[in-house]
Amino acid sequence: MVDLLHASLDADQRFEALATRLNARFDGEIRIGGNYASVVADGRTLHVSGQVPRVGTEVVVQGRVGGDVNLDAGQHAARICAMRVLAVLRQHLGSLSKVARIAKINVFVQCTEHFTQHSEVADAASGVFHEVLGERGVHARTSVGVYQLPKNAAVELDAVAIAVESV
């Protein structure tokens, strides 16, 4: 549910307010670590590469959810990943007001073999998209448990977004 306190704010302002609540900054360049693009546009469709819970240069939540990482920390990791997706989109489009909708997200949770709360981890990311973008942030979603993720990240998230106009 969109925070009514921020209902009069635009998406970019809600993004900044949430970043402050998360005690994280996403205003610098979101760098990539290889021979790929952080976002690829095909008309209005934007494919955003996987984002780990990195703030600055540090992956802030590492390890296995259900083991050395509890559910709350896994949800925090998912929120940071979602914020990074929004930061990439804002960098690419110039403003989050140019996002028509988040169409689909995939949430990968590095977890123990008996952990089954993948959807609860993903709910935290879904909440970020809805809080920042309102109904434009409601999306289809897949959440899965995996054995390992880059940099020992607890969560990785990729997304498909639709821009207001072709980019």
Over residues 33-57, the pLDDT tens digits come to: 788 999 999 999 999 999 999 998 8
The label of the residue with tokens 């920390």 reads: 73
In the predicted structure, residue 2 carries a pLDDT above the cut 60: no
In the predicted structure, residue 7 carries a pLDDT above the cut 70: no
Report pLDDT for 8: 87
> What six digits make up the tokens of 83?
């914020």
In the predicted structure, residue 4 carries a pLDDT above the cut 90: no
Beta-carbon count within 10 A of 65 CB: 27
In the predicted structure, residue 31 carries a pLDDT above the cut 50: yes
Report pLDDT for 6: 55
Q: 4-27+37-163 — its CATH code?
A: 3.30.1330.40
Query: By 3-state DSSP, what share of the chain in percent is helix, strand and coil, each rounded to 5?
Result: 40, 30, 35
In the predicted structure, residue 1 carries a pLDDT above the cut 70: no
Of 66, 105, 111, give the one whose Cα is nearest residue 84: 105
Mean pLDDT of the region 27-31: 76
pTM: 0.94
In the predicted structure, residue 32 carries a pLDDT above the cut 80: no
Mean residue pLDDT of the chain comes to 94
In this predicted model, which residue has the larger pLDDT, 101 or 167? Answer: 101
Report pLDDT for 3: 52
Report pLDDT for 33: 75
- 167: pLDDT confidence band, cut at 50, 70 and 90? confident
Q: Is 84 helix (H, G, I), strand (E, B) or coil?
A: helix
In the predicted structure, residue 29 carries a pLDDT above the cut 60: yes
CA 5 to chain centre: 22
